[in-house]
Amino acid sequence: MNEMVFLGGRPVAVGIGDGDVGDLLAYRREWEPFVAGHLELWRHVNEVLEGTQIARDVCPAGIFDPKRIVGNPAEAALCADLLLSRIRTSPTNPGGILAQWNLWKDSSSDQMLAGAQTMLAWHQSVVLDVGGPMKDDLVRIGKLWGIDIRLPDLPTFSLQQDIISRIEGAFVSTKGELKLLGYAAGDTLSLAGNTGEAIAKGLSDTAAALPKAVSSSIVWIGVAVVIVGGALVVYYLPRSKERAA
């Protein structure tokens, strides 16, 4: 597993009341298990699809145009999903989770402090993408090819609120930039201004149990059984939930 490197060295304080790199990275640290969990799910999906005969014969390793695959529609569909999994797990492709999450990794402490609002907005947008459109593709692929997907939990609402309050207290420019994120119906990430609002909206920090992934009974079931030999279950074990001291 590639380490999700962000910035080496220790945070450098810039003055009393000005905040420091550690304050900014607190947001990233709390969301990294969630992002890492999705990355591991994508890696497993990629491993399963790469191990099929179709992948070896029709769409071997590399970038290709799925539209050029003619013939069996099941082969074309698998290759398209395989390509997407290669992109999501690539450490260098702009569409990869690591490439997006680590966009600021080469920034200096001064650059990060000066760009606090932009940096935090970027990280929040990546979390929303990973837990939104990318998650939808992940679940779709799992259902289509018989791979059961278990989504990772979020940081608790109380911990999210503590981190947001800490950052806003240190960086006035970030006021209102960060929101609480919670699972809404259908395990869709939704924004809330505070814990009370999140609860009122019925949001949760734990993913609901998804229906068992089964392949379509029309075209895909025969292909899926050959490809994966039945349903595979992927578990992400989140770290113990932490409370602020």
> Which residues lie closer than 8 Å to 81 by C-beta, 6 or more apart?
45, 49, 141, 144, 145
Q: Is the pTM of this model over 0.85?
A: no
pLDDT tens per residue across span 53-75? 888 888 888 766 767 776 678 88
Q: pLDDT class for 219, splitting at 50, 70, 90? A: very low
* 23-27 mean pLDDT: 88
Residue 41 contacts residue 61 (beta carbons within 8 Å): no
Amino acid type, 7: L
Where do the structural domains in the chain lie, given as residue ranges?
A: 21-234
Percent of the chain with pLDDT over 70: 75
pLDDT band per the 50, 70, 90 thresholds, residue 12: very low
What's the mean pLDDT when you consider all of the chain?
Answer: 77
How high is the pLDDT of residue 71?
67
Where do the H-state alpha helices sit in 51-190?
53-57, 73-89, 97-101, 109-114, 116-130, 133-145, 157-170
Q: Is 205:155 a contact under the CB 8 Å cutoff?
A: yes
**CB within 8 Å of 114: residues ≥ 6 apart:** none
Query: What is the helix (H) or strand (E) element at residue 17, kind and residue range?
Result: none
Exposure string of 44-75, with b = 16+ CB inside 10 Å and e = fewer, is bbbebbeebebbeebbeeeebebeebeeeebb
Please check the confidence at residue 227 and state whether its pLDDT lies above 80. Answer: no
What is the structure's pLDDT at 146?
87
